């Protein structure tokens, strides 16, 4: 079989062999339930708490602020629901280009609990209008909850969440940021960052699927979203995903240790692909901000709409090239990208997201370019 070229790392990444090695003892001999009081349980409990300390240290947070979940969706749902149920927020402010884990949750809360919901304007380059945020907060009579993602999963635009946090602080608003695309890809200093909640998902940085993280600032007190047990210090019921948690911590440790080398290399791949596309494919463009104020792993390309290009993802797949038309979480529904529509609704373009990891090469990019020349 021809080797596959995998350019959809924003959807998920391959598991790092070192992460698998760290997980294996907890898939075999360390199988005890962490809630058990005998030695098997104490061993797995110690593994979880050591992982928590590792994650907290790498993010410069306190271990008591780190809670393990099933992934980014659960983490965001927990934070958003808690803001309404526990923190007295009556007005949600978000953007139309958020992940559906956020958008669908805030829409549900608006309908079920009559919560006021405001969407920020999106600028021509795909960035969120922070002046509009300040204006809405200044005009609001209710306590506000702001939820804005750090980096957009489709176009890669990065929002200055420190600036957002400071605006929220000025108006006493609660701030949650979906950081699923940036935890493991950028350094964080949560002691200094003015944010109440952030999220992470291990499979975005070469960890296992099915495990995530929610940071809850120590000054915030909320009730559990999932009921039924005392796990995660009474915050998240259900037997812990022990080997997943071990994998999360190890993946974050490796990502942080190799950040400078990996980010420089992956950014060079993105730049190289941009150059090659402009050189060889007439009429292409790029969606979002392609400056350094963007995610170095993501490149969203607009191709001229033709009979051929409308079948582009299908034809790439035939040639064993994996790419995405947008978020993999909604790839089963051919509705186009809600992100692209929010700021650049051009029906004569076909958008494809290429996203890179440390395992990709310039040779792979050259091969993709050669195939694209025959497909467009």
Q: What is the pLDDT along the chain (376 residues), one digit of tens a residue?
A: 578 999 999 999 999 999 999 999 999 999 999 999 999 999 999 999 999 999 999 999 999 999 999 999 999 999 999 999 999 999 999 999 999 999 999 999 999 999 999 999 999 999 999 999 999 999 999 999 999 999 999 999 999 999 999 999 999 999 999 999 999 999 999 999 999 999 999 999 999 999 999 999 999 999 999 999 999 999 999 999 999 999 999 999 999 999 999 999 999 999 999 999 999 999 999 999 988 889 999 999 999 887 777 799 999 999 999 999 854 444 344 457 899 888 876 777 899 999 999 999 999 999 999 999 998 8
> Are residue 129 and residue 146 in the same domain, yes or no?
yes
| Rounded CA separation 4/17 (Å) | 19
**Whether residues 342 and 194 fall in one domain:** no
Residues 273, 239 share a domain: no
Rounded CA separation 29/212 (Å):
24
Kindly state whether residues 139 and 175 are assigned to the same domain.
Answer: yes
Owning domain of residue 328? 5-14+259-375
Parallel, antiparallel or unpaired: strands 349-355 and 66-69: unpaired
Which of 257, 276, 311 is the last residue in one of the domains?
Answer: 257
Pair (230, 273) in one structural domain: no
Q: What pTM was estimated for this model as a whole? A: 0.94
Token output for 51: 């992982």
**Do residues 274 and 317 both lie within one domain?**
yes
Least Cα distance to 300 among 282, 319, 327, 318 occurs for: 327
* 253 and 265 fall within a common domain: no
Transcribe 54-107 into DSSP letters: HHHHHHT--GGGEEEES-HHHHHHHHHHHHHHTS---EEEE-TTS-HHHHHHHH
Q: Are residues 270 and 348 in the same domain?
A: yes
Question: Would you please indicate which residues are annotated as catalytic (active-site) residues?
Answer: 329
Sheet holding 144-147, edge to edge: 66-69, 212-216, 197-201, 174-177, 144-147, 91-94, 116-119
For residues 140 and 217, membership in a common domain is answered with yes
Q: How many CB atoms lie within 10 A of CB 109?
A: 20
Query: 214 and 149, same structural domain?
Result: yes
For the chain, what is the domain count? 2
Q: Alpha-carbon distance 7 to 228, whole Å?
A: 40
Nearest Cα neighbor of 206 from 355, 68, 13 is 13
Q: Are residues 170 and 238 in the same domain?
A: yes
- Whether residues 195 and 286 share a domain: the answer is no
C-alpha to C-alpha distance for 343 and 346, rounded to whole angstroms: 9
What would the DSSP string read from start to end of 11-54? T--PPPHHHHHHHHHHHTT----TT-SSHHHHHHHHHHHHHHHH
CA distances from 34 to 22, 63, 74, 142 (A): 17, 17, 21, 42
Q: 333-342 burial string, b = 16+ CB within 10 Å, else e? A: eeeebbbbbb
Residues 329/99, Cβ–Cβ less than 8 Å: yes
Q: What is the CATH number of the domain that holds 290?
A: 3.90.1150.10
Q: What is the CATH number of the domain that holds 101?
A: 3.40.640.10
Tell me which of 240, 257, 274 is where a domain ends.
257
Reference 95, options 151, 143, 138; nearest CA is: 151
Domain boundary among 194, 222, 257: 257
Contacts of 117 (CB under 8 A, 6+ apart): 91, 92, 94, 106, 107, 109, 110
């Amino acid at each position: 079989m021809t080797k596959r070229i995998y350019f959809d790392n924003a959807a998920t990444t391959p598991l790092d062999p070192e992460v698998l090695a760290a997980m294996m003892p907890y898939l075999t001999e360390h199988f005890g339930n962490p809630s058990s009081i005998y030695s098997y349980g104490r061993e797995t409990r110690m593994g979880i708490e050591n992982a928590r300390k590792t994650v907290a240290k790498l993010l410069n947070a306190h271990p008591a602020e780190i809670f393990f979940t099933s992934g980014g969706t659960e983490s965001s749902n927990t934070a958003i629901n808690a803001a309404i149920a526990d923190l007295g927020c009556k007005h949600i402010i978000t953007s139309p280009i958020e992940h559906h884990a956020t958008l669908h949750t805030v829409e549900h809360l608006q309908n079920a609990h009559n919560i006021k919901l405001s969407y920020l304007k999106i600028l021509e380059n795909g960035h969120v209008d922070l002046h509009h945020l300040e204006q809405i907060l200044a005009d609001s009579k209710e306590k506000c909850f702001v939820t804005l993602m750090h980096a957009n999963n489709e176009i890669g635009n990065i929002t200055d969440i420190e600036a957002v946090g400071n605006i929220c602080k000025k108006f006493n608003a609660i701030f949650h940021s979906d950081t699923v695309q940036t935890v493991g890809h950028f350094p964080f200093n949560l002691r200094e960052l003015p944010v109440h909640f952030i999220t992470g998902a291990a499979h975005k940085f070469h960890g296992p699927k099915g495990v995530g993280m929610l940071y809850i600032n120590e000054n915030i007190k909320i009730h559990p979203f999932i009921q039924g047990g005392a796990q995660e210090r009474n915050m998240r019921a259900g037997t812990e995903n022990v080997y997943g948690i071990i994998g999360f911590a190890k993946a974050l440790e490796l990502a942080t240790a190799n950040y400078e080398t990996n980010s420089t290399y992956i950014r060079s791949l993105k730049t190289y692909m941009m150059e090659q596309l402009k050189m060889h494919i007439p009429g292409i463009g790029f969606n979002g901000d392609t400056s350094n104020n963007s995610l170095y792993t993501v490149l969203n390309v607009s191709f001229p709409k033709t009979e051929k290009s409308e079948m582009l993802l299908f034809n790439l797949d035939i040639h064993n090239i994996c790419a995405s038309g947008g978020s993999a979480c909604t790839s089963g529904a051919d509705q186009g990208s809600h992100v692209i529509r929010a700021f650049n609704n051009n029906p004569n373009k076909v958008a494809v997201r290429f996203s890179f990891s440390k395992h990709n090469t310039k040779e792979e990019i050259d091969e993709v370019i050669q195939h694209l020349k025959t497909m467009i």
